[in-house]
Structure 1
Amino acid sequence: MSTTITIAQHSTHPLTVNRLGYGTMRLTGPEIWGEPANRPEALQILRTAVESGVTFIDTADYYGEDVTNRLIREALHPYPSNLVICTKVGATRRPDKSWVPYNTPENLRASIDNNLRTLQQEQIQLVHLRLMGHGAVPLDEQLGAMFEMQREGKILHVGLSNVTREELETGLQLGPIATVENMYSYAQRTTVKLAHGTNPGGEEVLDLCEQHGIPLIPFFSLLHALPKELDKIAEIARRHEATPAQINIAWLLHKSAWLLPIPGTSSLAHLRENLQAAAIRLSAEDMAYLG
């Protein structure tokens, strides 16, 4: 099992990172809004992640809003040379905590400028365009704005998030797509409808990502697991003296060399537990049992 993965491998500026990253979304307050309940612990989580070998951190300026970006800057700036900070644009939050599209070319430019400011960077290494309100702003207009900012040097690499197979195929025709970020876990592999919209699953695009050498970055939750799936993952966890969450991470790492999991947590203990999942070796029999 490979321990690293390369983003934009065929470009002039490939980025190689360790294959277990960290997603910052849960560092915010309830409903992904406001400051963390324990700010010192949130800062320590970020520092511990990097000290433990995490070289890929996922964030967004609409987490909080701007909470995770400011935490990252406070905890880690000046950034280690091998650290890749990936952000997302295409959405924003209203005061009622609802999620809404923010994806006109002007919106996207404003978001990139805001991310550059709050992260205190001159260039963002990887930005995911999160698709929301499908059809409201044509995909070619959204990606066109992203590629324009890439040419200007504000963005190094462009990725897509929350995409269907058809949308990814279209995106690949419009320009170089470095990465894809979709909901994906052992128990949640296909499209799921949530309160704030539809989330396409990773299984729907994984083979396409593999064909094109594009890392697929899963964001996931065990909350959608069916009882029979929980039973199977619990059995494998018992065999390896691990937790179900650790086995979910290990399953992703073994499922495909093109998967880059980014498990998030607001607990320092859970962070250390998640990182230990990279050392778990699932056998062919384990993977066959899980399915």
Structure 2
Amino acid sequence: MPSTITIAQNSSHPLTVNRLGYGTMRLTGPEVWGEPANRSEALQILRTAIESGVNFIDTADYYGEDVTNRLIREALYPYSADLVICTKVGATRRPDKSWVPFNTPENLRTSIDNNLRTLGQEQIQLVHLRLMGYEGVSLEEQLGAMFEMQREGKILHVGLSNVTRAELEVGLKLGPIATVENMYSYAQRTTLTHAHGHNPGGEEVLDLCEQHGIALIPFFSLLHALPKQLDNITEIARRHNATPAQINLAWLLHHSPWLLPIPGTSSLAHLRENLAAADICLSAEDMTYLG
């Protein structure tokens, strides 16, 4: 099981990172809104993650709003040379805490400039275009704006988030797609439909990502992963003296070398537990048993 992954490996500016990152969404207040309940612990989580070898952090300016970006800057600036901070654009929040598209070319430029300002960067190394529907703005227009800002130097690499297989195929024809960020876990591999829409699953695009050397970044890999009755993962956890959540992360790391999990937490203890999953070695028999 490789311990690192190289993003945009065929580009002139590849980024090699350790294969367990950290997603910051849960550092915010309830419903991904407002300041964290324990600001000092939130800052310590970010510092401990970096001290423990994490060098890939996922954020968005609509987390909070702007809460996680400000926490990252306060905790980690000036940034170490090997740290990759990945953000997302294409959405925003309303005062009622709803999530809505913010994806016209003008919207996307506003979001990129805001991320640059709040993170204190001159260039963002990796930006995911979060697909939230089109509403008169085509995928071609959205990605065109992203690639334009890439040519301007505001963005180093462009990725797609919440993307179907058909959308990824279109994206690949429009320009270099460095990464995909989709919901993916041991128990949730295909599209999840819910009251607010749908989240395409990682399994639907994994083979395409592997063919094109695209890192697939699973999100919500803990939140939706672990119905209590998953006997197989519970048994493997028992054999390895681990938690089911840790086995879920270990399964992702073993399932494909192109997976880069980013488990998030607002607890320092849970952060350490998640990071320990990278040390779990699942045998071929374990993986077969998990299915």
- Normalised by the length of structure 1, the TM-score is 0.98
Q: Is the 8 A contact 1:28 1:34 kept in 2?
A: yes
SS at match of 2:133: coil
Q: Give ranges in structure 2 of 5+ residues lacking alignment.
A: none
1:126-165 superposed Cα distances (whole Å, 9 cap, x missing partner): 0000000245410000000000000000000000000000
Query: Alpha carbon RMSD of aligned pairs, Å?
Result: 1.0
1:250-285 superposed Cα distances (whole Å, 9 cap, x missing partner): 000000000000000000000000000000000111
Report the equivalent of 2:74: 74
Mapped to 1, the partners of 2:241 and 2:95 lie a distance apart of 44
1:181-202 superposed Cα distances (whole Å, 9 cap, x missing partner): 0000000000002333210000
Report the equivalent of 1:205: 205
Mapped to 2, the partners of 1:226 and 1:263 lie a distance apart of 17
Q: Is the 8 A contact 1:185 1:222 kept in 2?
A: no
How has the CA–CA distance of structure 1 residues 231 and 136 changed in structure 2, closer, same or farther, with 3 Å as cutoff? farther
SS at match of 2:224: helix
Q: Is the 8 A contact 2:222 2:248 kept in 1?
A: no
Deviation at 1:222, TM superposition (A): 4.5
Mapped to 2, the partners of 1:25 and 1:196 lie a distance apart of 18
SS at match of 1:223: coil
SS at match of 2:142: helix
Q: Is the 8 A contact 1:101 1:133 kept in 2?
A: yes
Mapped to 1, the partners of 2:164 and 2:135 lie a distance apart of 13
Mapped to 1, the partners of 2:274 and 2:65 lie a distance apart of 26
Q: 1:178 corresponds to which letter in structure 2?
A: A
Q: Give ranges in structure 1 of 5+ residues lacking alignment.
A: none
1:31-86 superposed Cα distances (whole Å, 9 cap, x missing partner): 00000000000000000000000010000000000000000000000000000000
Q: Is the 8 A contact 1:187 1:222 kept in 2?
A: no
Matched residues, number: 290
Q: 1:82 corresponds to which letter in structure 2?
A: D
Q: 2:184 corresponds to which letter in structure 1?
A: Y
Report the equivalent of 2:95: 95
Deviation at 1:167, TM superposition (A): 0.2
Q: Is the 8 A contact 1:98 1:196 kept in 2?
A: no
SS at match of 1:2: coil
- Segments of 4+ moved more than 6 angstroms: none
1:83-116 superposed Cα distances (whole Å, 9 cap, x missing partner): 0000000000000000000000000000000000
Q: 1:122 corresponds to which letter in structure 2?
A: E
Deviation at 1:231, TM superposition (A): 1.5
Report the equivalent of 1:183: 183
Mapped to 1, the partners of 2:36 and 2:228 lie a distance apart of 32
Q: Is the 8 A contact 2:250 2:280 kept in 1?
A: yes
Report the equivalent of 1:168: 168
Deviation at 1:225, TM superposition (A): 4.3
- Normalised by the length of structure 2, the TM-score is 0.98
Report the equivalent of 1:31: 31
**Most deviating of 189-198 and 148-157:** 189-198
Q: 2:127 corresponds to which letter in structure 1?
A: V
Q: Is the 8 A contact 2:128 2:160 kept in 1?
A: yes
Mapped to 1, the partners of 2:12 and 2:108 lie a distance apart of 25
**Most deviating of 129-138 and 205-214:** 129-138
Q: 1:200 corresponds to which letter in structure 2?
A: P
Q: Give the share of equivalent positions with the same residue, in percent.
A: 84
Report the equivalent of 1:192: 192
